[in-house]
Structure 1
Amino acid sequence: MTDQELQLLVEEVSNQYFQIPFIHKASFNPRLRTTGGRYLLNSHNIEINRKYLDQLGLEELIGIIKHELCHYHLHINKRGYQHKDADFKNLLKSVGGPRFCSSLPRENNSSKPKKVLIYKCKSCNQVYLRRKKVDTKKYVCGKCRGKLVLEETRNN
């Protein structure tokens, strides 16, 4: 789906469910990571996360569009457009939009092994497992205050 097709879909959803035209711009924003979409207060534009269309389908996308259009129409009409406002909750319920979008399936990061650094105390042989490097000039053993030495690095 292109930005132009998204624009037409948002206009169609606005006319069908709200009976009010959407006269601003709707587009995909590839930088969105943790949300399905957002309504921009200053420009009145709507940005949508393309991953929700790709991974969860058109029905989920329409739900996100309804949610963002609730923010849009309420803000334009100077009514309570925030999630906590009764106007927002009532309008969202009347058009059948979701309060929150579904979670995206987690991306499998198992292809990248995690590095583990193993530090050992020279005095008491206490072992410390760390993901990040430790400055051995600055930090000492928590048990005996002895000197730490990097023993090995493993990829798990």
Structure 2
Amino acid sequence: MSVREIRLLGDPILKTKTKPVRNLEDARQLVGDLLETVALPGRAGVAANQIGVGLSVFAYNIDGELGYLINPEITFLGDDRELIEEGCLSVPGLWHRALRHKEASATGFQLDGSKITISGSGLMAQALQHECDHLAGKTYLDRLEPTERKIAYKELRSQKWFLG
């Protein structure tokens, strides 16, 4: 298990939909790496494609609760939505207001084959939506209102790290 480097926007893997994990045992090392990577301070979630792996797995670290989901699917989104400040490890230095549901649930698998559902509000709901978006080949920038997206991409083009 090791902390893995985060891929930055412009890397094609971030815009590619991930593939489902077929053999849970094959995901053991990946889950360990994701958990170590997300455990660093200031990190709420990391999707597998953010570390260069095109499989449907993410790890989260919300209020000291560390966990993961394999082959997650959003199973519930509350009716109430809000514009909330959001950032991303793959888009460092940029924060913009994205429209997110205040409550969300995602169902997926653990390495032992058990199926679990993670539910939450606030930051947990935001993280579930954000990480599932990554696995679908989207970033939070895709969720911005048109005017906000224009501002974000202008800022993005001025970033030294930007690969686009």
Q: TM-score, normalised by structure 1?
A: 0.26
**Whose strand proportion is higher, 1 or 2?**
2
Q: Whose relative contact order is higher, 1 or 2, with alpha carbons under 8 Å and at least 6 apart?
A: 2
TM-score using structure 2 length: 0.25
